[in-house]
Amino acid sequence: MEALQTLAWSDAWYLAPELALAAATLLLAVVDLLLPGRVNRDVIGWGALAGLLVAGVFVGWHLHDLQAAADAGEQPVRNVLGGSYRVDDFGNLLKLVFLGASALILLASLGTVRREDVPIKGEFYYLFLPAVIGAMVMASSGDMITLFIGMELLGITSYVLVGVRKRSGQSGEAAFKYVVTGGTASAFVLYGMSFLYGVTGTTNLTLISQALGTALTEYRALVYVAFFLMIVGFALKLALAPFHAWAPDVYQGAPTPVTAFLAVVAKGAAFAMVYRIFLNTAFFAYADNTEVREDLFLALAVLAAAAMIVGVAGAMKQQNAKRLLALSGVANAGILLVPLTLDVTNLHSSMFSEFIYYLLAYLFMNVGAFAVLTVVSRSSGHEELSAFAGLYHRAPWTAGAMTVLLCSLAGLPVTGGFFGKLFILFGTVQTRSYWLAAILLVTTVVSYYVYFSFIRQMYMRSGETEPPATVPVPSGIVIWLCAAASVALGILPKPILDWINDIFSLSADFLTR
């Protein structure tokens, strides 16, 4: 009983962000049931947004407490729930990214999600919250069981969100494909985890890293099987080529806010899981098993290279804006994976700062681009590139913001996307991964043609047949916040990188028990 009381009271504070979102979900569900049918359900959206902000305050508080503990010479990591959940700077930084992205997506959807498209409008808003909880659990888990629970919570909620447009056959098709591919990915990950548990006798990531040395001596083949099964599952979750075929169909069929959520939050959560597992367990390969280390991270590097090539090549022939952005996300997933392969293979010390910096840039440029697409498709009635025709004349300020976001996506100066790619490129050169550097450079140059297709429509097509583009106030705020943030990241890259490096510690966040 004493242990139970200690668990309840001590862990509750460290789980405050997740508990706040859970409480907000239950409260909004009850409010939605009690509200009269004639009341606009945007009030539920504002309530969900408030829940995200409260959770963000708790995460910021934890970040401050951990930094104070580190300055005082104490351990900057809090293990709760029997060590299965870790409150550390890695998880807190990613939680802030997830909460910020979700808040921007919800804000942009207010006033643009129409009841005729999404009949269950109240549920549409507060279903975001358990999905964000799943992403946050994936960022902070120190055990394979809690990692899998977070992944499934995010996945199951996302399946519902993708198919929320019940009257749309395209949305139903997208939901079915997402369920099949998501279930397949989960099966691969779970099967790999079961092998890893079988050869080590534990599901705790830190204990696995300690037991893998012996496991490699006795069960070397099974260790390979375990990690490569998980790599396949993660590649499906991240839509890395050649496991990316589901992404364009699902992104096209889902409501645009849900597409933005999948592109940023769900993908970022999958990256958190990849970093947790491979840096907590495969870090063992530094000492005595360089062959295993090189094999595992070479496989990740090949996936990153394939994603960059296939993503950019596939986007070149797309005329649907959502499908184009989906394939752009495939290429960007490859770029985000590159720092992990460099660090573990060659002791590239700035791995996490490069990853989180580019993830921030990716957040703003994608959420902003999808917000513009929501406005344009709502006025034009379709999501083809031709919907952007003459946007400069129909909504000049929105076209200007979209131009900034496209420059960031393409990696043009002075934007966050430019410096994000530049820092990762410097890492590849510094660690002598010249083949990855060459692929990153070539695909970046080719991507200029892809993103110029938007600019060509906005500035070089008349758009006389397209109706005026009305920008709701919440969407306009999100669009300009994202455009301004993309420029700010390009103007102030060094202070942001220094701040991340001051907070994050590889040894504390991944190797401390």
Digit-coded pLDDT (tens) for 72-120: 777 767 778 777 888 888 889 999 999 999 999 999 888 776 655 566 6
Task: Note whether 162 and 176 are within 8 A (CB).
Answer: no
Whole-angstrom distance, CA of residue 511 vs CA of residue 265 = 25
Amino acid letter for position 475: S
Q: Is 26 or 142 the better-scoring residue by pLDDT?
A: 26
Whole-angstrom distance, CA of residue 406 vs CA of residue 400 = 10
Q: Is 82 or 55 the better-scoring residue by pLDDT?
A: 55
Token representation of residue 111: 């006033």
State how far Cα 332 lies from the chain centre. Answer: 11
Predicted pLDDT of residue 4: 41
Helix boundaries (H) for 219-245:
220-238
**Per-residue pLDDT at 395 exceeds 90:** no
Identify the weakest region by mean pLDDT among 17-21, 178-182, 432-436.
432-436
**Per-residue pLDDT at 38 exceeds 80:** no
The CA distances from residue 451 to 259, 312, 456, in Å, are 19, 10, 9
For residue 283, what pLDDT band results from cuts at 50, 70 and 90?
low
For the chain, the straight-line distance linking the first and the last C-alpha, in angstroms and rounded, comes to 25
Predicted pLDDT of residue 100: 94
Whole-angstrom distance, CA of residue 204 vs CA of residue 180 = 29
Token representation of residue 481: 């916040």
Closest C-alpha to 270, from 313, 212, 217, 231: 231
Above pLDDT 90, what percent of the chain? Answer: 46
Whole-angstrom distance, CA of residue 52 vs CA of residue 134 = 13
Stretch 479-495: mean pLDDT = 91
**Per-residue pLDDT at 340 exceeds 90:** no
User: Residues, the chain, total?
Assistant: 513
Q: Is 279 or 222 the better-scoring residue by pLDDT?
A: 222
Task: Note whether 301 and 235 are within 8 A (CB).
Answer: no
Mean pLDDT comparison of 28-32, 52-56, 86-90, 490-494, highest-scoring range: 52-56
Predicted pLDDT of residue 1: 41
- What's phi and psi for 255, nearest 5 deg? -55, 145
Q: Is 304 or 14 the better-scoring residue by pLDDT?
A: 304
Predicted pLDDT of residue 236: 94
Whole-angstrom distance, CA of residue 404 vs CA of residue 408 = 6
Strand, helix or coil for residue 143:
strand
Strand, helix or coil for residue 87:
strand
Whole-angstrom distance, CA of residue 63 vs CA of residue 162 = 33
Predicted pLDDT of residue 219: 85
**Per-residue pLDDT at 405 exceeds 80:** yes
Predicted pLDDT of residue 507: 61
Closest C-alpha to 203, from 341, 76, 85, 75: 85
**Per-residue pLDDT at 164 exceeds 60:** yes
- pLDDT tens readout for residues 353-393: 888 999 999 999 999 999 999 888 888 878 888 888 888 88
Please report, for the chain, how many H helices and E strands are present, in that order: 23, 2
Closest C-alpha to 143, from 276, 270, 14: 276
Predicted pLDDT of residue 371: 92
pTM score, two decimals?
0.92
Token representation of residue 84: 């299965």
Helix boundaries (H) for 317-433:
321-346, 351-380, 391-394, 396-410, 416-430
Whole-angstrom distance, CA of residue 399 vs CA of residue 373 = 11
For residue 2, what pLDDT band results from cuts at 50, 70 and 90?
very low
Predicted pLDDT of residue 5: 45
Closest C-alpha to 307, from 235, 250, 249: 235
- pLDDT tens readout for residues 315-337: 998 889 999 999 999 999 999 99
